[in-house]
Amino acid sequence: MNKVTFRKIDVDGHQIAYREAGPKDAPTILLLHGFPSSSHMFRDLIPHLSDFHVVAPDLLGFGQSDMPGRDTFTYTFDNIAAVMDRFTEVVGIDHFALYVFDYGAPVGLRIAVKHPERVTAIISQNGNAYTEGLSDGWNPIRAYWQDASEENRNALRAFLAPETTVWQYLHGVPDAAREQVGPDGYSLDNFYLARPGATDIQLDLFGDYKSNVALYPAFQAYFREHNPPLLAVWGKNDPFFLPAGAEAFQRDIPSAQVRFFDTGHFALETHAKEIAEQINTFLRR
């Protein structure tokens, strides 16, 4: 694998951090992480994608990218997607396959809907676009969508507790594989979540996630109209995004490939090599 570089670039006044690897004249894969992580989640995947030019940014407000205050930036998925859309332009990647995970899915799919000609393929790793993919684990957040009271907002703070982050990494991972889940991932996520101001930013995004669900019909119409090559690689024991969400892609893209792995939400922690094999086969084809 070519060396991984770590850079920051100015995107309309915001510093966006990103990892980059592979030859720049190779086909590009844009890796978009989820909550509450950063591009660090791709540390084990990137070395297995040596035939490609890989770009993995930290979303605005996450990781090493800027985290502007709520008084200067409104934290919605529309706004974050707009920044990441501009990021692709500033970095100079005109065409790319999208790897979307968790929050990366509504961000990346907004970009795809806006620029369908730029997206060569989609790999969705527990990146949902269908209501049947949402588990009952979303119920406290759904309550906040329906009634944005302070009581309902405060009830979501438990999702940001350090022990909840650890639980997200370990839930659904078979006992025999738990030793593969190193503590560096969830420890780094908890470090970022503990920064001053981060809690209210994340609560804002919990509230705005309803905008993603409202866009599911638009995402699905994009799938039907443009029929992008799509591979779903899914941790089947995910407590938030159910296997039905992966299978639903085939309703709108009949040629979509769906692969399940016996692990949880953060499937790359235990199956990076296996998922990379699926990606390499899929994109080379």
- Supply the pTM of this predicted model: 0.97
Q: CA-to-CA distance for 240 and 99, rounded, in angstroms?
A: 19
Question: From the candidates 14, 40, 53, 265, which is the catalytic residue?
Answer: 265
Residue 254, token pair as written in the block? 């009949």
Angle between helices 183-193 and 162-170 (to 10 degrees): 150
Task: Count other C-beta atoms under 10 Å from residue 168's C-beta.
Answer: 23
The residue among 234, 229, 205 whose CA lies nearest residue 106 is 205
In single-letter form, the type of residue at position 61 comes to: G
Residues 6+ apart with CB under 8 A from 197: 67, 69, 70
Please report how many Cα atoms fall inside a 13 Å half-sphere around the Cα of residue 117, on the Cβ side: 1
Residues 6+ apart with CB under 8 A from 108: 30, 32, 81, 84, 98, 100, 122, 127
Residue 29, token pair as written in the block? 């894969």
Secondary structure of residue 284 in the 3-state scheme: helix
Residue 265 known to be catalytic? yes
Q: CA-to-CA distance for 8 and 185, rounded, in angstroms?
A: 21
CA 77, 79, 85, 86: dihedral to nearest 10 degrees? -160
- The CA distances from residue 191 to 48, 63, 117, in Å, are 27, 9, 38
Residue 268 pLDDT: 98
- The CA distances from residue 214 to 77, 130, 192, 210, 219, in Å, are 12, 10, 29, 6, 10
In single-letter form, the type of residue at position 277 comes to: E
In single-letter form, the type of residue at position 150 comes to: E
Residue 230 pLDDT: 98
Give the ranges where 175-240 is alpha helix by DSSP (H). 183-193, 198-226
Q: How confident is the prediction along the chain (285 residues), in pLDDT tens digits per residue?
A: 579 999 999 999 999 999 999 999 999 999 999 999 999 999 999 999 999 999 999 999 999 999 999 999 999 999 999 999 999 999 999 999 999 999 999 999 999 999 999 999 999 999 999 999 999 999 999 999 999 999 999 999 999 999 999 999 999 999 999 999 999 999 999 999 999 999 999 999 999 999 999 999 999 999 999 999 999 999 999 999 999 999 999 999 999 999 999 999 999 999 999 999 999 999 998
Residue 77 pLDDT: 98
In single-letter form, the type of residue at position 148 comes to: A
Task: Count other C-beta atoms under 10 Å from residue 215's C-beta.
Answer: 18
Beta bridge partners of 10: 15
CATH superfamily of 5-284: Alpha/Beta hydrolase fold, catalytic domain (3.40.50.1820)
Residue 285 pLDDT: 86
In single-letter form, the type of residue at position 134 comes to: L
